[in-house]
Amino acid sequence: MNWTLRPYPYLYECQRRYGDAFTLRLHALGDVVMLADPRDVESVFRMDPDHGRTGEANALMTPIVGADSLFVLDGEQHRRRRAEMRSSLTTRPRIDPQAVARLTREELPEDGGVVEVTELFRWLAMRLIGYRVLGTDDPDLLRVFFARLHGVTGSLSSLAAFFPVLQRERGVASPGYWFQRRIAALDSVLSETVVKAAQEPRTSCVGARMAAARGEAWSDVRGADGFRDDLITLIAAGDDTVASALSWALFWVARTPRVAERIINGDDGVDRGATPEHMAGSGYLEAVCAEALRITPVVDIVSRKTTVPVTIQGFDIPVGSLLSPAIYLVHRRPQVYDTPDVFRPERFLEGKFRPSEYFPFGGGSRRCIGAALAIAEMKTVLGTIVGRYEVRPASIADTSIRYSRRNVTVSPGKFRVQLTPRRP
């Protein structure tokens, strides 16, 4: 319960009490061995993927993302599917900076004002991933689609996701019956959305690229058949993660005027006149995003399920355990980061960190395939906002750090900023 309600403070308390490797017994997941020492993290990321299986560790997601989802595959099937999806995501143009900047501007009040940030980014992230993966920016279409998606990933259903017995269908009165109905409703709206979106194909659309790779034209696609698990996987992977990451980034920028000042007036500053392409290429904005993902990573752990006995820090870890590099604990390690609790993007300009010291996107053969896309989008969104407005916390209460778990991500609790338009 603590891990769900107070994710980061709780992990930190456990580390102080038990050291850099400790086991949490979580009802739905079993024994989870949390690892906070980069040397152990490195050994997990270097493990033979068949000895530390990620697909099996993610098995709870199967009813939502489907049995063919990259998240739940292992072995050869995973390697093949990953290569296919990766090339659809990374082919250039990776993002369409003009479209990202336009969608961002559309969500902002022209004359400024007080804005609640987590809701703002929740919706913007849906529009961004809908545009990128399905190729549509029709808000009505996306509202219906995401209402259904969040119907299965959201509060009641995530209970079902965590307690597989609740997913089983046992007559109309059972939670499983309603869970399966929601999945069917999601699939049908996905098909409708694909058909409508395909009427106006866009070159940066990942769905269209996946269809082309299989020799099909997106405009001829008559639904989500054959693409269902891939599309749901990409959308689910890039929705809450990007929303939470943007929320944290703006939280830190609003609290740290010096950083906003450098975003605008630094060497590669992004004032009102900067183009979205310039923002997507800015080195300082990149450091700002990296630092936000360091100090408040949006995913707290990644997991590998052991199929062979392993020894970590002298402890024998039995087969079937989850080995979980704890991103937050490593990112706040004073042995790696000086003043780890201070938001200081410059640390990413001054030096490099090893993949076992900095891994907001996980690592090894399962590292996030949307990382470059996510960072490019974050830079363009932040640059568009900070270039147009001075951003300050709306009140003292909006400066305090509160964590809120949203499905698999950790987001800030609701907070507001005051946006004051910059003079042209």
Among candidate residues 393, 381, 382, the one with its CA nearest the CA of residue 419: 393
Q: Applying CB under 6 A, does 117 fall inside the site for ligand HEM?
A: no
Helix (H, G, I), strand (E, B) or coil at 108: coil
Among 233, 282, 306, 411, binds ligand HEM (CB under 6 A): 233
Q: Applying CB under 6 A, does 82 fall inside the site for ligand HEM?
A: yes
Q: How many residues does the chain have?
A: 424
Choose between 8 and 361: whose C-beta lies nearer to ligand HEM: 361
Query: x/- string (CB under 6 A) for ligand HEM, residues 341-360?
Result: -------------------x
Helix (H, G, I), strand (E, B) or coil at 184: helix
Interactions with ligand HEM, residue window 350-409 (CB under 6 A): 360-363, 366-370, 373-374
Q: How many CB atoms lie within 10 A of CB 5?
A: 11
Q: Which two tokens stand for residue 63?
A: 């009813």
Helix (H, G, I), strand (E, B) or coil at 13: helix
* Close Cβ partners of 165 (under 8 Å, ≥ 6 residues apart): none
Q: Please, are residues 286 and 383 in contact by the beta-carbon 8 Å criterion?
A: no
Q: Applying CB under 6 A, does 186 fall inside the site for ligand HEM?
A: no
Residue 326: beta bridge partners?
A: 301
Among 117, 242, 263, 330, binds ligand HEM (CB under 6 A): 242
Choose between 166 and 228: whose C-beta lies nearer to ligand HEM: 228
Choose between 123 and 178: whose C-beta lies nearer to ligand HEM: 123
Least gap, CB of 363 to ligand HEM (angstroms): 5
Interactions with ligand HEM, residue window 295-334 (CB under 6 A): 298-299, 302
Q: Please, are residues 299 and 418 in contact by the beta-carbon 8 Å criterion?
A: no
DSSP state of 301: B
Among candidate residues 27, 132, 37, the one with its CA nearest the CA of residue 90: 132
Among 33, 52, 53, 54, binds ligand HEM (CB under 6 A): 54
Region binding ligand HEM by CB under 6 A among candidate stretches 115-123, 233-241, 315-323, 346-354: 233-241
Least gap, CB of 378 to ligand HEM (angstroms): 7
Among 152, 197, 234, 279, binds ligand HEM (CB under 6 A): 234
Least gap, CB of 397 to ligand HEM (angstroms): 26
Q: Please, are residues 365 and 371 in contact by the beta-carbon 8 Å criterion?
A: no
Choose between 284 and 361: whose C-beta lies nearer to ligand HEM: 361
Residue 24: beta bridge partners?
A: 32
Q: Please, are residues 68 and 229 in contact by the beta-carbon 8 Å criterion?
A: yes
Choose between 269 and 325: whose C-beta lies nearer to ligand HEM: 325
Q: Applying CB under 6 A, does 65 fall inside the site for ligand HEM?
A: no
With b for 16 or more beta-carbon neighbours within 10 A and e for fewer, the 235-264 pattern comes to bbbbbbbbbbbbbbbbbbbbbbeebbebbb
* Close Cβ partners of 77 (under 8 Å, ≥ 6 residues apart): none
* Close Cβ partners of 225 (under 8 Å, ≥ 6 residues apart): 191
C-alpha separations of 177 from 183, 221, 407 in Å: 10, 30, 21
Cα 304 from chain centroid? 18
Choose between 180 and 365: whose C-beta lies nearer to ligand HEM: 365
Choose between 54 and 136: whose C-beta lies nearer to ligand HEM: 54
Least gap, CB of 368 to ligand HEM (angstroms): 3
Q: Applying CB under 6 A, does 88 fall inside the site for ligand HEM?
A: no
Least gap, CB of 273 to ligand HEM (angstroms): 27
Least gap, CB of 411 to ligand HEM (angstroms): 11
Q: Which two tokens stand for residue 112?
A: 């400024």
Least gap, CB of 70 to ligand HEM (angstroms): 5
Instruction: List residues near ligand HEM by CB under 6 A.
Output: 54, 70-71, 82, 233-234, 237-238, 241-242, 245, 298-299, 302, 360-363, 366-370, 373-374
